[in-house]
Amino acid sequence: MRQTNISEQLRHFPFPTKRNAVTDEYEFFYFEGVGINGKVFTCFNRQTGQKCALKILKDSNKARREVILHKKASGTCQNIVKVLDVYENMYANNRCLLIIMECMNGGELFNRIRERDDKPFTEREAARIMQSICFAVQFLHDMDIAHRDLKPENLLFSSKDEDAVLKLTDFGNDEKKPLATPCYTPYYVAPEVLSNERYDKACDIWSLGVIMYILLCGYPPFYSLHGQAISAGMKSKIRAGEYQFPKQEWEKVSKEAKDLITLMLTTEPQNRPTIEKVMESSWISRYGTHVPETPLEVPKVLNEEMQNWSEIKAEIHAANAYNRRADEDEVKLNPVSNCVLLKRRQQKRDTAAVQLTQ
Ligand code: ADP
């Protein structure tokens, strides 16, 4: 068996890419506000007028891996953001990969929940959202792909309408695979390169548990309280599965929901349920009849925690990286500066939890 390194395997895309200028087919308006977020921009198909999103990546193994994974995942599942075109262009003397995607006009999941003021956010709605995310994860796991970085900002709504579809994006998760992997032909990207270990799938289930927890109360199960996104304290909490269901937000949530979260947040990856098992639970599969329409405090809590939201997102990202057993030295995040309110809220909840157990 010949050993080839990842660079060699990623040199050729296993699908056609375009080499002509992206501007031949897509129009950009370079005025303020056109960028969606950092390296993601809006553009319009010149022929159809369709509004699209463009993600620009500097060509690298990591970028190639992201493009291949996203393209592969963007098939028939309606809960994964579709890749419409991939270009290889030079931009400012750099080789770039450009991913043209469908534009998700509805924005990020939790922003939408936070901004709602028309009707209450209920447990049943949370279950419906979880089912959408699970469809995406099931689709990936069936293809032996693990996303490995499921987090709120990668969950986007197709539009601002009531019936908008929630979709998963961003396959640029950090790589931690060995540098050489068995391969027979350079056109074939080995599954190992795209990550298919059962372990990584279990990591997705843990992240799903975290997202479900936030969906039901508005704050994450694990806090870092030492000014570092991935502090030693947080690691040990994750390792020990140390989290609570504080009474204030959780007493009105059904036992089924809490049981499902407990299963997904099982410390040992091998003991976590598969995505099939998660989806078999009646809380997800029969949410329409089995999940109560209890109004939740989530929009209110999300608004209260708004100034901590970027820290919360950083923590989830760090925890995902930690769970992937990435080399801890690689996890370099800026220190979290504003943890005070979070601490105060956590203390409030700790007190409530103590009272609950007394
Ligand atoms: P990064 O790799 O920098 O995290 P993402 O792919 O997650 O990049 O995109 C960053 C942000 O851009 C997302 O959180 C989202 O707000 C926005 N975004 C990404 N893709 C789309 C899209 N297809 N339509 C609309 N907005 C998008």
| Ligand 1 center from residue 153 Cα (angstroms) | 7
- Tally the C-alpha atoms within 13 A of residue 151's C-alpha that lie toward its C-beta: 20
CB 254 within 8 A of CB 150: no
C-beta 53 within 6 A of ligand 1: yes
Q: Which among 161, 145, 148, 47 has a CA at the least distance from the CA of 104?
A: 161
Give yes or no: 142 in active site. no
**pLDDT at site 195:** 43
> What atom in ligand 1 is closest to the CA of residue 169?
6
Considering 85, 117, 142, 149, which one is annotated as catalytic?
149
Token pair of 296 as six digits = 């939740």
Residue-wise pLDDT for 337-347, tens only, equals 333 334 435 55
Give the span between the Cα atoms of 111 and 131, in whole angstroms. 19
pLDDT at res. 340: 33
The pTM is what?
0.81
pLDDT in tens, 21-67: 999 999 987 654 455 666 888 999 999 999 999 999 999 998 999 99
Strands (E), 103-165: 107-108, 155-157
pLDDT band at 224 (very low <50, low <70, confident <90, very high): low
Whether the CB of 296 sits within 6 Å of ligand 1: no
CA 145, CA 179: separation in Å to the nearest integer? 19
